[in-house]
Amino acid sequence: MNTRKLQETAHALVDAGKGILAIDESFPTIAKRFASIGLESSEQHRRDYRELLVRAPGVERYVSGMIFFDETLRQKSAAGRLFPELLRERGILPGIKVDLGARPLAGHPHETVTEGLDGLRERLREYRELGACFAKWRAVIRIQAEQGLPSAACLEANAQALARYAALCQEAGLVPIVEPEVLMDGAHDLAGCYQVTVRTLRAVFEALAVQQVFLEGVLLKSSMVLDGADLQQRAGVPQRAGVREVAEQTLRCLRESVPEAVPGVVFLSGGQSARLATEHLNAMSLCTAEQRLPWTLSFSYGRALQEPCLRTWGGDAARREAAQQALLHRARCNSLACLGRYSPELEEAA
């Protein structure tokens, strides 16, 4: 294992003021996103949209890496260039989603385990040859306190899979992004989310230790500690707890469960609005200045970076540049948020 190279890549992904753009939606997920703008999910539409994102001028100032879906890693731009090549020439690292999705966990209704370990060693070798230098695997944890969810079985099965995936990635020379997402769905409050997130992260890092994963060559992709979406709806506000409280509880949770050796924690947006995801990250960066944390904090957003861009584009080639500007604006806001320098006035100015 080339530990130095893994460390370099992990650090490059969380370079100051830079984060990751997740554009790794699977076929069903991208179909859902396109349906929201009335567009069919054909190969050409997926290519056009992802080319728009990949070629957004200046995006490399804010984005260190992009996560692709298998199709995109192999796809060519309209001018016949491979997507990973287009990223590389602008200094952006190509990454790849390697899990095959969450499937029902036998004996545990309402819970899932993420699959994709069979044949993973061979797939990783191929991805490496196609230019990927990091990978992502997402586990899904659902909170339903009245039914005792998440179960110990669900946490254990997902942590095991994440650890085996991470070890295989490092063997192949790819930095594993380890993503246990605690879903926002449900009526739990902030304290409930806090407890489950701590349990989840502890299970994950225990499993990583058992599999002897090199922590300095890993990034954690975490959800934030938030109120459940149903609770938010009932309260009639997008987030019942204030921005500062979310930031403090998320950091407290990470301090309790993430080893110091991990170079960076990148957040997923998980259904938060684009602005709120930025505000939360900014508030955490401000706390970091007060508390000195061992890891760099950054973003690895999908929806919170793409939504305004996708809406602006709407499948219309004439709105391509406006859509790219919308992406750049969100990328810049989140880059500033990594440094604690975001302010809502930037939204009005844009």
For residue 43, the tally of other CB atoms under 10 A from its CB is 9
| Active-site residue (options: 179, 181, 279, 307) | 179
Q: Cis (ω within 30 of 0) for the bond into 150? A: yes
C-beta of 299: minimal distance to ligand 13P in Å? 8
Choose one: 56-64, 78-86, 102-110, 295-303; the region binding ligand 13P (CB under 6 A): 295-303
Judged by beta carbon, residue 65 or residue 318, the one nearer ligand 13P is 65
Are the beta carbons of 87 and 66 closer than 8 angstroms? yes
Least separation in angstroms between residue 215's CB and ligand 13P is: 21
Residue range at the interface with ligand 13P (CB under 6 A); choices 47-55, 144-152, 227-235, 296-304: 296-304
* Residue 41 or 321 with smaller CB distance to ligand 13P: 41
- Minimum CB–partner distance for residue 210 and ligand 13P (Å): 24
Handedness of CA 72, 73, 74, 76 (dihedral sign): positive
Size of the residue set binding ligand 13P (CB under 6 A): 10
If the CB atoms of residues 109 and 230 are measured against ligand 13P, the closer one turns out to be: 230
**Identity of the residue, 96 or 258, whose beta carbon is nearer to ligand 13P in the bound complex:** 96
Cβ neighbours of residue 45 under 8 Å, at least 6 residues apart?
34, 39, 315
Considering only 82-90, 164-172, 224-232, 301-309, which stretch makes contact with ligand 13P by CB under 6 A? Answer: 301-309
Region near ligand 13P per CB under 6 A, out of 111-119, 190-198, 253-261, 267-275: 267-275
Half-sphere exposure of 171 (CA within 13 A, CB side): 14
Residue 270 is a binding residue for ligand 13P (CB under 6 A):
yes
Among 167, 98, 172, 174, CA closest to 133: 174
335 binds ligand 13P (CB under 6 A): no
337, 297 contact by CB (below 8 A): no
Binding of ligand 13P by 158 (CB under 6 A): no
Is 22 an interacting residue with respect to ligand 13P (CB under 6 A)?
yes
For residues 12 and 93, is the Cβ–Cβ distance under 8 A? Answer: yes
- Tokens representing 341 are 């320098």
Does position 302 interact with ligand 13P (CB under 6 A)? The reply is yes
Site for ligand 13P in 37-76 (CB under 6 A): none
Residue 221: active-site member: yes
**Residue 182 binds ligand 13P, judged by CB under 6 A:** no
Q: Which of 51, 221, 279, 307 does the annotation list as catalytic?
A: 221
303 binds ligand 13P (CB under 6 A): yes
The yes or no reply on residue 312 touching ligand 13P (CB under 6 A) is no
257 lies in the site for ligand 13P, by CB under 6 A: no
Q: Do residues 245 and 287 touch, judged by C-beta distance below 8 A?
A: no
- What lies within 8 Å, CB to CB, of 190 at 6+ separation is 225, 226, 227, 240, 241, 245, 246, 249
Tell me which of 18, 50, 123, 138 binds ligand 13P, using CB under 6 A: 138
Q: Give the one residue of 304, 309, 331, 337 binding ligand 13P; rule: CB under 6 A.
A: 304
* 196 lies in the site for ligand 13P, by CB under 6 A: no
Decide if residue 268 touches ligand 13P (CB under 6 A). yes
Q: How far is CA 127 from CA 2, 4, 34, 68, in A?
A: 17, 20, 26, 11
Strands 112-114 and 296-301: unpaired
Per-residue CA distances from 190 to 196, 249, 334 (Å)? 10, 8, 23
d(CA 322, CA 280): 26
Residues that bind ligand 13P (CB under 6 A): 22, 138, 179, 268-270, 301-304
List, by residue number, the catalytic residues: 179, 221
